[in-house]
Amino acid sequence: MKAILDSLNWVMDVELQAGNIVQLGEFGNFRLSISSQGTDKEDDFTAANIKKAKIVFSPGKSLRETKDTLYFEHEKPYEKEKECNRTHLD
């Protein structure tokens, strides 16, 4: 399993650096996104204006639909016993 994930990581690195979107079937897609400092004129924009790049994951349909099936409920926070001689880890 590790060898498969290592190979996938290598291929994704190559493809993302080439500017491609990596599509993993119904699992979803990975793509690069950049943020930059704007300029008044297009001709003034250079690579130095690019501040950072990040990898964006867009889940496939079944993963996107997972969020619609979630259920949340409020739980009471854990309270330490008031008179206890044991050491508690927080």
Number of domains in the chain: 1
Domain contains 64: yes
- Please indicate, yes or no, if residue 52 is contained in any of the structural domains: yes
Q: Is the pTM value of this prediction over 0.75?
A: no
Structure confidence by residue, pLDDT tens digits, 46-68 = 989 999 999 999 999 999 999 88
Mean pLDDT by 10 residues, the chain (90 residues): 95 96 96 94 92 95 91 82 68
Q: Determine the structural domain holding residue 16 and report its residue range.
A: 2-69
79 located within any domain: no
CATH of the domain at 53: 4.10.520.10
Distance of CA 81 to the CA centre of its chain: 39
Residue 78 confidence (pLDDT): 74
Contact criterion met (CB below 8 Å) for 55 and 16: yes
Q: Determine phi and psi for 65, rounding to 5 degrees.
A: -75, -20
- Is the residue at 89 inside a domain? no
